């Protein structure tokens, strides 16, 4: 038998009830547990709590047990009911004893060992004692739904409590009235000290009662199911619910900012209701944190799996789209040309600012001064960028953001908040959408990993309902592949997967569309300089654990100062003609610090700063996004420099940027240094470092199913009620970072969906 565990309080996320718990008494120790004997595998799970009014450490623990046949290769419990953001207890037999550990998972990957919980065996019962303090707790005075897991496959290293293991082979949930699972203080303290007895048997684990049969799971149908709570999904769900439709928004991750329930922040900000995602100055630490739970683990590129998606983890550069962003020149249908009313809607919800500190001042602006000297000599004009969105040739200005009141703004601070107050809007987090469920062209619902939302995890639509995919440029294609929509080579990979294959529709219902094709991303090159006036701000390396005291104090006081802004300080654009008669635009972003330095020069690290040079609107290089045999989303063909003209223009642009370096006293280019030419520097640049993470086009909008995935109304070709509204529909690179342009596109896209006949 496996041992009995003394556990703690932990979060509850309600899943499905398949069985009901009751009271029983363990015959070995006489403790009256509340729990369940699971009849298929013969496991018993039980808990007993101290009194409800307990204080101190006693309020954060309980006695619990997992009892299972010795041939069980490993077993586990989640008192909170789900894998994510919950304490997980796992145990297995080895060499005549029991090995066990406490785990925690932030995504659907191997749960990692926790350093906080302490397991201590109680002498008379062999019960390990665990004490764990979490941010949430089991609802000890009401009803809850714990989960159990069972595996017939052994762990990889049985002697090691932190061994890795394969996914469980079976699992289940059961209902439990936690309010009844409390003992007197005297009885609880006796058992916690190793004592026995005191329970009145109602049943025992050797002769368990038959648990009552529960009613079948029912599912609520919705007019609209929106998949993904990034900028596209949040705006879409808000506008749909505003129109009176019943809306379910599904997000595979969890909270981000404090306003959304997030709690992950630096030690120095504790007690101030601020998370990593709130504080603009922590942007650079998104890429260096030792616990980066916000990145999607099944996407082979940086993609945000949390509320807000990319808008909760990016630098928040926010450009009001120029008219060219929605022109046929970049591939938009002519019906999208009048973006003004939709851009105005975004601006009214999210005004931009190029001075985000709450005191109205700009901080750490030495880089801006140096860049202006560099560009003025090249005929550039300084502007307020978002006051002149169409002025993108030889123009520069202070970086603009959608920060609000010195904190991250974006759609989580605006659109999500208005949606949440409507009774016809439902948000579910930690729900992984596997595929849409369809019968030919008709979508009937979505299949998820959450069986509490419907039988076998399937959530249905109302009779005229619609599904809108807003999962992003990588995840939306994967959902389509898993739904039998896309190139046959991708769908065949799904068909060969033992889990995903059975969920595909029949092969005669597969829909051949160019999903994943025509992908673009800005090719980008870093140029690193030093200047004696520049404060590199320790290359942003100290802002998480040990920021400059004056700056952290100022920010905590009123969200002002250096930390109220992300690292970029200046942006500029220039137009270039080329041999193919196309006009391409170059963008520059300047910031203190540097991602990397390669030079033979000695240099002063406290003076380093960077210009990242991008190529944007007008580029012709394209790649492909797909999946591999493990169904991991990845770039199959990189989208940078597949057309050599793009590279020629970028090289010319970099040379032009550098043409006036000598005009600025004290300015030194250290990467590349004078041991290489710009042409060789670009030719030898690490392809992986060209990635700007501005992926667009994988489900491109257009007028023909031979070249596009969605039509001018964002409906997936050859389906009746499946739509896509996210960055994947953008047919060509916008002028700048796509954040603002995407929100305008979402406003226009959801308006077109609502205007279509035949919907709910």
Active site residues: 694
From residue 577, how far is each of 345, 451, 650 by CA, in Å? 34, 56, 11
Q: For residue 647, which of 523, 520, 734 has the smallest C-alpha distance? A: 523
Q: Angle 739-755/340-349 helices, nearest 10 degrees?
A: 120
Q: Report the distance separating Cα 760 and Cα 589, nearest Å.
A: 45
As beta bridge partners, residue 448 has 433
d(CA 611, CA 615): 13
Separation between Cα atoms, residue 450 and residue 432, nearest integer Å? 7
Q: How far is CA 414 from CA 259, 277, 694, in A?
A: 11, 15, 23
Alpha-carbon distances, residue 114 vs 107, 626, 700 (angstroms): 15, 34, 43
| Residue 169, phi then psi, degrees to nearest 5 | -95, -15
Buried b (16+ CB within 10 A) or exposed e, 70-89: eebbbbbbbbbbbbbbbbbb
| Rounded-to-integer distance, Cα 594 and Cα 607, Å | 10
Neighbours of 704 (CB within 10 A): 9
Going by the DSSP 8-state scheme, the letter that residue 748 receives in this structure is H
Q: Where are the alpha helices (DSSP H) in 170-328?
A: 185-192, 231-242
> Which residues, other chains included, contact 212 with Cβ-Cβ below 8 Å and sequence gap of 6+?
19, 20
Q: How far apart are CA 369 and CA 367, in angstroms?
A: 5
Whether residue 672 is preceded by a cis peptide bond, meaning omega within 30 degrees of 0, is yes
End-to-end, the C-alpha distance of the chain in Å comes to 55
Angle (CA) 724-344-700 rounded to 5° is 25
Instruction: Return d(Cα 142, Cα 179) in angstroms, integer.
Output: 5
Question: Residue written as tokens 């010795």?
Answer: 70
């Amino acid at each position: 038998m496996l041992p009995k565990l003394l556990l703690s309080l932990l979060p509850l996320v309600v899943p499905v009830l398949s069985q009901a718990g009751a009271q029983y008494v363990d015959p070995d120790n006489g403790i009256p547990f509340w729990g369940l004997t699971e009849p298929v595998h013969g496991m018993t799970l039980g808990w007993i709590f101290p009194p409800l009014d307990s204080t101190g450490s006693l309020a954060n623990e309980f006695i619990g047990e997992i009892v299972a046949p010795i041939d069980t290769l490993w077993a586990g419990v989640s008192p909170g009911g789900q894998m994510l953001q919950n304490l997980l207890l796992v145990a297995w037999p080895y060499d005549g004893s029991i090995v066990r550990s406490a785990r925690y998972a932030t995504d659907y990957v191997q749960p990692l060992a926790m350093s906080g919980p302490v397991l201590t065996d109680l002498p008379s019962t062999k019960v390990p004692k665990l004490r764990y303090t979490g941010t949430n707790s089991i609802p000890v005075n009401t009803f809850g739904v714990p989960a159990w897991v069972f595996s017939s496959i052994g762990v990889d290293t049985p002697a090691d409590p932190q061994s890795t293991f394969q996914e469980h082979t079976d699992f289940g949930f059961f209902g439990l009235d936690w309010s009844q699972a409390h003992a007197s203080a005297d009885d609880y303290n006796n058992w916690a000290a190793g004592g026995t007895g005191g329970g009145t048997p109602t049943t025992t684990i050797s002769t368990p009662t038959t648990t009552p049969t529960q009613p079948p799971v029912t599912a609520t149908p919705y007019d609209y199911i929106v998949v993904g709570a990034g900028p596209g999904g949040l705006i879409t769900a808000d506008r749909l619910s505003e129109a009176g439709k019943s809306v379910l928004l599904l997000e595979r991750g969890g909270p981000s900012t404090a306003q959304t329930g997030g709690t992950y922040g630096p030690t120095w900000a504790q007690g101030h209701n601020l998370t990593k995602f709130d504080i603009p100055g922590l942007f650079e630490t998104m890429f260096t944190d030792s616990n980066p739970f916000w990145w999607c683990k099944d996407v082979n590129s940086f993609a945000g799996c949390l509320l807000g998606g990319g808008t909760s983890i990016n630098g928040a550069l926010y450009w009001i789209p120029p008219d060219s962003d929605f022109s046929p020149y970049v591939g938009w249908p002519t019906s999208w040309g009048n973006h003004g009313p939709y851009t105005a809607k975004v601006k009214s919800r999210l005004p931009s600012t190029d001075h985000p500190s709450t005191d109205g001042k700009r901080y750490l602006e030495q880089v801006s001064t140096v860049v202006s000297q560099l560009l003025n000599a090249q005929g550039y004009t300084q502007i307020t960028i978002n006051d002149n969105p169409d002025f993108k040739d030889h123009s520069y200005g202070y970086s603009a953001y959608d920060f609000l009141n010195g904190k991250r703004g974006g759609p989580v601070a605006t659109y999500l908040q208005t949606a949440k107050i409507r009774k016809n809007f439902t948000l579910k987090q930690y729900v992984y959408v596997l595929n849409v469920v369809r019968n030919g062209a008709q979508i009937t619902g979505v299949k998820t990993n959450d069986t509490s939302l419907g039988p076998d995890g399937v959530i249905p639509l109302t009779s005229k309902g619609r599904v809108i995919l807003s999962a992003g440029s990588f995840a939306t294609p994967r959902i389509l592949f898993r739904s039998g929509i896309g190139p046959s080579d991708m769908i065949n990979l799904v068909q060969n997967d033992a889990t995903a294959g059975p969920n595909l529709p029949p092969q005669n219902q597969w829909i051949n569309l160019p999903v994943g094709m025509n992908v673009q991303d800005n090719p980008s090159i870093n140029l690193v300089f030093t200047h004696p006036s520049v404060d590199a701000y320790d290359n942003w390396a100290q802002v998480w654990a040990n920021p400059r005291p004056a700056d952290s104090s100022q920010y905590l006081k009123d969200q002002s100062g250096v930390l109220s802004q992300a690292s970029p300080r200046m942006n500029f654009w220039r137009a270039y003609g080329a041999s193919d008669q196309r006009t391409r635009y170059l963008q520059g972003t300047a910031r203190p610090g540097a991602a990397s330095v390669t030079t033979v020069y000695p240099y002063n690290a406290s003076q380093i700063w960077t210009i990242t040079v991008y190529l944007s609107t007008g580029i012709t290089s394209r790649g492909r996004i797909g999946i591999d045999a493990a169904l991991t989303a990845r770039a199959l063909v990189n989208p940078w420099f597949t057309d050599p003209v793009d590279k020629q223009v970028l090289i010319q642009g970099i040379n032009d940027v550098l043409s006036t370096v000598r005009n600025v006293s004290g300015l030194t280019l250290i990467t590349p240094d004078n041991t290489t030419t710009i042409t060789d520097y670009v030719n030898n640049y690490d392809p992986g470092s060209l990635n700007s993470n501005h992926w667009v086009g994988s489900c491109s909008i257009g007028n023909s199913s031979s070249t596009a995935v969605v039509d001018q109304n964002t409906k997936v070709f050859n389906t009746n009620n499946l739509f896509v509204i996210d960055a994947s529909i953008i047919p060509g690179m916008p002028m700048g970072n796509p954040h603002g342009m995407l929100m305008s596109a979402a406003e226009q896209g959801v308006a077109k969906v609502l205007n279509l006949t035949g919907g709910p």
